[in-house]
Amino acid sequence: MSSADRSLTLSSDSLLFVYGTLLSGLSNHHHMQGARCLGPASVQGALFDLGEYPAMLVAGARAAPLETVLGELYQIEASHWPRLDTLEEVDPESIENSMYLRVTSEVTWLASETPQKLRAQVYVYNWSLEGRPRIENGDFRRHIANKKA
């Protein structure tokens, strides 16, 4: 695939960075059925522990300092977005009622021969994180393994 073909097929509206329960092997991964995993990726952000699932911020005072958040990059069909938006409680009629917002962010795709910067969709938390602990290592999978140990 030429670089021109790759940029056409990997447009931001068809890419999703996942960092929590949608990761392969975790509780909500079945919602990714039909999506193509492109491999490991990372984004600059801040993860917070909400118990069964994480929240991520990519901007704002609560996100500082930004750190590397590890996850996976998926290629998504347009028909897949409404199902994922429902899972993440995105309310297209009301920002205030949306638990998460889907935003475009810069992602580093780590599966290519050399890390590649791409723009992808990511779900960021929209409600208060007051009193919620930060996940210091930026890796939800490692965080839940440590909690079980």
* Correct CATH for 3-148 of 3.40.50.970, 3.40.50.300, 3.10.490.10, 3.30.460.80: 3.10.490.10
State mean pLDDT over 42-62: 95
Assess contact for 67 and 19: CB atoms under 8 A: no
- What's the pLDDT at 1? 40
Helices (H), ranges, 37-94: 81-87
Assess contact for 121 and 104: CB atoms under 8 A: yes
Burial class (CB in 10 A: 0-12, 13-18, 19+), 100: buried
Task: Classify 60 as helix, strand or coil.
Answer: coil
- What's the pLDDT at 126? 97
| Rounded Cα distance, 141 and 58, in Å | 19
pLDDT at 118 over 50: yes
pLDDT at 5 over 90: no
State mean pLDDT over 8-22: 87
Domain boundaries, the chain: 3-148
pLDDT at 146 over 80: yes
Structure confidence by residue, pLDDT tens digits, 28-51: 999 999 999 999 999 999 999 999
Question: What does 79-114 look like in DSSP terms, one character per residue?
Answer: GGHHHHHHHTT--TT-STT-SEEEEEEEEEE-SSSS
- What's the pLDDT at 28? 95
The average confidence (pLDDT) of the chain is 91
Residue given tokens 């995105």 in the structure block: 90
**Among 122, 149, 148, which residue's Cα sits nearest to residue 47?**
122
- What's the pLDDT at 149? 73
Q: What is the pTM of this model?
A: 0.91
pLDDT at 7 over 50: no
